[in-house]
Structure 1
Amino acid sequence: MDRRSFLKTGAALAVAGAMPSVARAQESTITFGGSIPMTGTAAETGLNVLYGYRCAVKYINEEMGGVEIGGQKYKLGLNLFDDASDPARATTLIQRQVDEGIGFFLGSFGSNIVLPTCAITEAAGRIMVQAGGGSDLIFTQGRKRVFGIFPRASLQFVSSVNMFKTLDPKVGKISIMYTNDAFSEFQATGARKTIEEAGIEVIDYIALPAQVSDVSNVLTTIRQNAPDILVCTTHDETSTLITRQMVATNTNVPMLYQTLGPQTAGYRDALGNYANGVVTQAYWSERATFECEYFGSAAKFAEYYAANFDRTLTYHMASGAVCILAYVQAAKIAGSLDVDAVRDALSALDYNCFYGHLRFTPEGDGDPALLGPLLVQRQAGDIEVIAPGEVASAKPIYPAPSWQDRA
């Protein structure tokens, strides 16, 4: 395929139905296709990733005047559609964009959507860079054209266990609760393995259905067994449901750790002061000392974002933005928009930027030694980094106050 397959002259810098066109007709525009949950169950985090995509495109177009590749200047454009958190709708939209000649794709949010859509782009010889799918199945089935900013799910828990081992009083027993979906189960499996290898007992390993409406019976078991830490590898809405029902049933644990949910403004708004003390993962912090030519630094990314967007900043925005940067850097290194040349450059990418040290494994997921999660905790309404210690902004609050004392 020649590069014209991946360019659109005067293409709209647009998310369908969401942003107006600002590209001028005489400009060559690199258009990124894909879908994102703007509505539906995954919309809270999907919109965060979308705003990260928008932020990077706006900065490169307006502050840097575009990007030069192979001696030619290009603007960037987005052609992203609302998949409504529905894998079937997403696959239809992605296939349509493949048929239209889009070559560079950004990922949706949720492994249940990334898995089928990256299968389409892979089969068509296109590329997907994404910050929404961490299931091992994305990266262990021989794909060569999908890249993930995060490590695969089974390798995401090392830093968490390292933090658990530093807590006082000592952590002796942990319960794990997970939903039966492509991401959460792999993450729970990796968590259990890493926890047990550290000599900590896993006393409960509880599978929930993919769609959860009630966990009251499960919480009876948690109260009876009294773990030191309850780990929930669950998505946003389920995490909120679990916390609400823990409050309602007075199910207290010294540490509640939920891998997705507590990072979001929606979780905070739903739970108020009950969100304080909950621990979660974050793959980026504006307090980190990362720097690069884009945005300048982690802190300056946060400043630029706050000056231009009104949606509350989370690490998902930074993760979305760095997907764009990965493409741009790879194309600059390749000196070309040829899809195979960009793919090869992505595979070999080794780049320090405002997000951190960006490098992929041979299978395409984020290098776990470089792109693994920080641990954060809501404390007095603010999100504080509690591990690793060298970048921590606060010490863990452990044991956490009872729900009654947080009201």
Structure 2
Amino acid sequence: MRRRTFLQATTAALAAGAMPKLAFGQDNIITFGGSVPMTGAAAETGQNVLQGYQCAVKYINEEMGGAEIGGQSYQLDLNIFDDASDPARATTLIQRQVDEGISFFLGSFGSNIVLPTCSITEAAGRIMVQAGGGSDLIFTQGRKRVFGIFPRASQQFVSSVNMFTSLDPAVKTVSIIYTNDAFSEFQAKGARQTIEQAGIEVVDYIALPAGVSDVSNVLTTIRESAPDILVCTTHDQTSILIARQMVSTETNVPMLYQTLGPQTAAFRDALGNYANGVVTQAYWSERAPYSGSYFGSAADFAKYFRANFDRELTYHMASGAACIVAYVEAAKQAGSLDLDAVRDGLDALDLECFYGRVRFTQDGDGDPDLLGPLLIQRQNGEMEVVAPPDGASAKPVYPAPTWQERA
């Protein structure tokens, strides 16, 4: 059988805006279509997700000899284009891939792109497995062929509040800042509900426009409220903006918690020592006790990734790889590449692997009891797991040092 490595050789052309040429008529090749932000506002995390897809394809093709499905061996191919963080571009080109016959899709990063593109694949009877969209709207409108590695946004805060209620001194007040987009707003609503149910007062609940460039007025309010924890359900660049302006205005809180941003090298590079003490979510850690037949353990995945890729490892790479693994295992269990059979295989999937236990709800999002986030905090430059306690590598630093003390 012909052996090839499919690692998106056309990435440079795609980033430049060229439409990928789809590889049809090639025997025993499974092609995954889709897009990620290789440029634009979400490029930092988009590139991370892309390398997760690439890592799983490389491992399955080269280390496992391909995917054995229904008695035949298949090589995997990626046909991923740069959507430039632009929903309009993504929908146009996803529709073109649908028209050209792609059956299996991988998602972009950001609910603002995943939501319209999964509507296209769903209407066409195709399948999408994705690690970039958590808005409730993706999973509550009756779709049957869209699967997400993460729980929906409104169910992502249980582990966070469990940590809040364990802190000493006790957390009495929380302020919430969110951006007005499909993911962040749902996550903020879920956070507020879960926090208030725990008996903690939400003293501020502040919406930011998606394209915000200044939060100084908002931070004036935060200084007046003086919450024990500031929760920001914001995307990467907005999280950096908020943290930078908190430093410059000396807006100190005992804990700054930002759901997206602090996981990335860009956040570390932008904030330097000020990144220490910031808490964020992570859906995977190489220190977690997960293992299975793909890659081996979580630590083995990290070792393999670092041996083959240059980007700093974040959970997004593991989440992207888990999408490919879920597809392959579902097809294996179905013994077929028939779309309905693979869909049913994903629906029934219950897989222990390097990423944890992968199982989807009846609506297609990640089971919140199994795939909810870990809490991580940058301490002395290292990302430490601080919750839940049974998976923690360090205790949370709370109250955090002031910005002046971190300089």
TM-score with structure 1 length normalisation? 0.95
**What is the CA deviation profile of residues 315-372 of structure 1, one whole-angstrom value per residue up to 9, with x for unaligned ones?**
0000000000000000000100000100001001011110000000000000000000
Partner of 2:268: 268
SS in 2 for 1:237: helix
Match of 1:257 in 2: 257
* 1:195-274 mapped onto 2 (5 Å cutoff): 195-274=195-274
1:343 aligned partner: 343
What is the DSSP-based 3-state SS (H/G/I as helix, E as strand, rest coil) of the residue aligned with 2:306?
A: helix
Matches of 1:350 and 1:19, distance apart in 2: 37
Deviation at 1:16, TM superposition (A): 3.6
Instruction: Give structure 1 regions of 4+ aligned residues with deviation exceeding 4 angstroms.
Output: 9-13
2:11 to 17, 23, 33: 17
Alignment of 1:126-141 (within 5 A): 126-141=126-141
Per-residue deviation at 1:159?
0.2
C-alpha deviation, 1:17, in angstroms: 3.1
CA contact (8 A) 2:359 2:370 kept: yes
Distance 2:159 2:378 in 1: 18
Residue type of the alignment partner of 1:290: Y
Partner of 1:375: 375
Structure 2 residue identity aligned to 1:314: T
Moved more, 73-82 or 25-34: 25-34
- Name the CA distance, whole Å, in 2 between partners of 1:251 and 1:380: 21
Q: 1:188 corresponds to which letter in structure 2?
A: A
What is the CA distance between 1:12 and its match in structure 2? 5.7
1:11–1:266: structure 2 CA closer, same or farther, 3 Å change rule?
A: closer
Q: Following the alignment from structure 2 to structure 1, what is the Cα–Cα distance between the partners of residues 167 and 6?
A: 51
**Counterpart residue type for residue 81 of structure 1:** F
Aligned-residue offset at 1:28: 1.8
Q: Give, in angstroms, the shift of residue 15 of structure 1.
A: 5.8
**Rounded Cα–Cα distance in structure 2 between residues aligned with 1:347 and 1:19:** 35
Superposition pairs of residues 115-134 of structure 1, within 5 angstroms: 115-134=115-134
Name the CA shift for 1:66/1:16 in 2 (closer, same or farther; >3 Å): same
Distance 1:19 1:299, change over 3 A: farther
CA distance in 2 between counterparts of 1:338 and 1:13 reads: 25
Q: 1:12 to 1:285 in 2, by over 3 A?
A: closer
Aligned to 2:50: 50
Look up the match of 1:103: 103
Partner of 2:288: 288
Compared with structure 1, are the counterparts of its residues 341 and 218 closer, same or farther at alpha carbon in structure 2 (3 Å cutoff)? same
Distance 1:394 1:10 in 2: 43
Distance 2:8 2:316 in 1: 20
User: 2: distance between equivalents of 1:67 and 1:309?
Assistant: 22
Q: Which residue of 1 aligns with 2:187?
A: 187
Paired with 1:103 and 1:11, the residues of 2 have a C-alpha distance of: 21
SS in 1 for 2:189: helix
User: What amino acid does structure 1 have at the position aligned with 2:108?
Assistant: S
Paired residue type of 2:329: Q
Q: Which amino acid aligns with 1:44?
A: E
User: Residue 182 of structure 2: SS of its match in structure 1?
Assistant: coil
Aligned partners of 2:5 and 2:61 also within 8 Å: no
Cα distance 1:60–1:130, how it changes in 2: closer, same or farther (>3 A)?
same
Query: Structure 2: any 5+ residue segments left out of the alignment?
Result: 15-20
- Partners in 2 of 1:13 and 1:233 — Cα distance? 33
Structure 1 CA distance for aligned equivalents of residues 118 and 39 of structure 2: 21
d(CA) in 1 for partners of 2:91, 2:376: 34
Q: Which amino acid aligns with 2:264?
A: T
* TM-score, scaled to structure 2: 0.95
Question: Which residue number corresponds to residue 35 of structure 1?
Answer: 35
Query: Residue 147 of structure 2 corresponds to which residue in structure 1?
Result: 147
Which one-letter code corresponds to 1:138 in the other structure?
I
Which runs of no fewer than 5 residues in structure 1 stay unpaired?
1-8
Task: Give secondary structure in 2 for the equivalent of 1:175.
Answer: strand
**Secondary structure, aligned partner of 1:14:** coil
What is the percent sequence identity of the aligned residues? 79
How far has the Cα of 1:10 moved from its partner?
Answer: 8.5
Aligned pairs, how many? 398
Q: Secondary structure at the match of 1:162?
A: helix
- SS of residue matched to 2:204: strand
